[in-house]
Amino acid sequence: MAAIVRLEARAIAPEVDRFRYTARSDEVYTTTTIVRATDEAGVTGIGASDADSFGDWDVAPLETLRTVLPQLVGIDAEDHERVAAVLTEDGTSAFPPAVRSTIDVALWDLSSRAEERSLCESLGGSPDTRSLPSYASVPFLDDEVEYLTFLDELVTSGYGAVKLHAWGDPVRDAGLVEGVRARFPDLTVMHDAEGRYDREGAALVARACADAGVRWFEAPLPDLDLDGYRELRRTVPDVPVLAAGDAIWDRRLMAEVLRDPPWDAVRFDVSFAGGPTAARGLMRLAEEVGLDVELISYGHTVIQAANLHVALAFGRTSYFEQAVPMEPFAYGAVDPIVTSADGTVHLPAGPGLGVDLDDEAIERATIGRLDAQR
């Protein structure tokens, strides 16, 4: 047992290529908040979360931590339940703001490093479980020709699965799904609509996805339109339907929602759902109702690693989400997570998350910092 003696946080705003999610959104500025925790034995752990904004960088997540970090100094770094109580204000908050999850990730990384084992093993996973099939999460592109050309490059590099982000127009998006299937008959395809359709448009695209044998249809409606999701599953039962996973991750709320599941699998991101501590509870809920958990790992390498470790520990996730192009999401990472030629990703080597950062690169991109220490 070792107490936390220091918690450092910084917001980084690297100048990388930016992208759009749909035709209806502007280019995204992704500010990554990184937390580094140190215990009295000198062991450190890291966590991260991303915040998307438009027009400029966002330091609000960093400010969320200003009053939180000092409360954690002196707590046993392995007392994950006590830390979770602080982060959720003893359970009175419906869920922690995303950046608070970063602390939980950092402390799990720290405690796993102290025990010289991977985070996956610390969560109960097998040391022999090291890889997962990967899909390329494709950025928004201008036209179908550009999509087909880009997908051809991905398939050539080894990807056996891709997820489309299209225009947000049901008719045009349905046509893209059909065109991709015609061009790549053996490719595993997912489609993410970013919650842009109404119920009629969602049904139209769902039928196209069913006809094309799409692996899953993601975010056809806003996450909180639970009745709309249930209706869509009844209307078009031949394609699995998932939420974006951005709005429901509190364990108590999830338990109520899953009394009548609106989706065919649960979806959330460890880096904003409360960290590995909260992820354990959500995984158990999904298991109770027989659902898989298709984790989001669209983010910085630290975020990707946290989700990959959790996915492999619980064995309820069929694919790892690899954002492509990957370079903007790997800023400052010494060894980014990369999909191999056989279409899989592997856990980073080393204890904890297995991720190390280039301190000089991180310093160059820093736009704000906090430091709480004993």
Domain with residue 37: its CATH number is 3.30.390.10
Task: Say whether both 328 and 369 belong to one domain.
Answer: no
Does residue 299 fall inside a structural domain?
Answer: yes
Which distant-in-sequence residues (6+ apart) come within 8 Å of 341 by Cβ? 157, 158
Transcribe 60-80 into DSSP letters. HHHHHTTTTHHHHTTSBTT-H
pLDDT tens, N- to C-terminus, the chain (374 residues): 799 999 999 999 998 888 777 777 788 899 999 999 999 999 999 999 999 999 999 999 999 999 999 999 999 999 999 999 999 887 777 666 788 999 999 999 999 999 999 999 999 999 999 999 999 999 999 999 999 999 999 999 999 999 999 999 999 999 999 999 999 999 999 999 999 999 999 999 999 999 999 999 999 999 999 999 999 999 999 999 999 999 999 999 999 999 999 999 999 999 999 999 999 999 999 999 999 999 999 999 999 999 999 999 999 999 999 999 999 999 999 999 999 999 999 999 999 999 999 999 999 999 999 999 98
Query: Do 195 and 86 belong together in one domain?
Result: no
Q: Considering its fold, how many domains does the chain have in total?
A: 2
Please report, as a single letter, which amino acid is at residue 211.
Answer: D
Cβ–Cβ < 8 Å for 353, 271: no
Q: Does 186 share its domain with 167? A: yes
User: What is the per-residue pLDDT across 126-175, written as a single tens digit (0 to 9) for each?
Assistant: 999 999 999 999 999 999 999 999 999 999 999 999 999 999 999 999 99
Write the pLDDT tens digit of every residue in 53-90. Answer: 999 999 999 999 999 999 999 999 999 999 999 998 87
Residue 236 in contact with residue 201, Cβ under 8 Å? no
Q: How many helices (H) and strands (E) does the chain have?
A: 14, 13
For residue 189, what are the domain limits?
122-346
